[in-house]
Amino acid sequence: MLRIDLNCDLGEIEGAEGVLLDEALMPYVSSINVACGGHAGDPERIRKVVELAVKFNVAVGAHPGYADRANFGRVIVPMSPAELHKLVLQQITLVAEIVEESGSTLHHVKPHGALYNFAATSPETAHAIATAVHALDPRCQLMGLSRSCLTDAANLLGLRAVHEVFADRNYLAEGSLVPRNQDNAVLQDPEQIAVRAASIVETGAVIAIDGTQLTFPCDTLCIHSDTPNAVTIAACIRTVFDKHSIAVRAVD
């Protein structure tokens, strides 16, 4: 049987609606990335997400981002490597402490938004993030865009690099994600996303927006909680995975 991790970014949407969304998505995923208070989130919300994850036996990861709530962390904030290291370490330490209070251990770190995309192509940015994760816990996994500078930085430091592919995002021919300000950046049809996700797991290939076939190592697939119909998308993926005998498990 094939096996894949299915992850989702949670703790990002404010208010009761966001809390209900977190709980609705939790049964369908094997790992989650909780906003650390930079682009979204706060200690109280982190605790709620962690409590849910423990309840559903879901691996908990930290989701650090630029401290820019106005732009939801989706705009690059110029920072030196030392400043970025400090920012990431502060955010992931907060989550790690809350996870430890729950009796568990932080499973992984996955940067958010502009920080994630910049780290995919910037060795300096990737190194600053990887050294922050290593400083927190060398056993912690580092999740990044498959075959990117971030996964390279993880490998260089001896961290477990988790190669991520996106089930609900389109790709450009050179392997990067289509920017969100462009048409067709985000897929929204649940059946299309589910079939695509199963194909990625089975073939290791992603079809770029221009028809180019890209081949990636894939340890984990991502879906986004802020995509319309996110719960329906998650449920549809699990239904299609069951039909294709694809097990959903967190990365060891």
Query: For residue range 106-149, what is the model confidence (pLDDT) as tens digits?
Result: 999 999 999 999 999 999 999 999 999 999 999 999 999 999 99
What number is the average pLDDT over the span 25-48? 97
Q: What is the pLDDT of residue 32?
A: 98
Q: Residue 126, Cβ neighbours under 10 Å: how many?
A: 25
Q: What is the pLDDT of residue 92?
A: 98
Beta bridge mates, 61? 33, 108
Q: What is the pLDDT of residue 55?
A: 96
**The tokens of 67 are what?**
């401290």
**H helix runs in the chain, sequence order:** 15-25, 43-55, 81-101, 113-121, 123-136, 149-157, 190-203, 230-243
Per-residue pLDDT at 183 exceeds 90: no
Q: What is the pLDDT of residue 228?
A: 87
Residues in Cβ contact with 94 at an 8 Å cutoff, skipping those fewer than 6 apart: 36, 37, 43, 46
**H helix runs in 2-122, sequence order:** 15-25, 43-55, 81-101, 113-121
How far, in whole angstroms, is CA 107 from its chain's centroid? 12
State the angle between helix axes of 190-203 and 230-243 in degrees (0 to 180), rounded to the nearest 10. Answer: 40
pLDDT-above-70 percentage for the chain: 100
Q: How far is CA 201 from CA 39, 65, 244, 246, in A?
A: 30, 28, 10, 8
**The tokens of 201 are what?**
């797991």
**H helix runs in 137-218, sequence order:** 149-157, 190-203
What number is the average pLDDT over the span 31-36? 98
Per-residue pLDDT at 102 exceeds 90: yes
Confidence band (pLDDT; 50, 70, 90) for 233?
very high
Site of tokens 């430890």: 100
How far, in whole angstroms, is CA 179 from its chain's centroid? 16
Q: What is the pLDDT of residue 129?
A: 99
* Mean pLDDT for all residues in the chain: 97
pTM of the model as a whole: 0.96
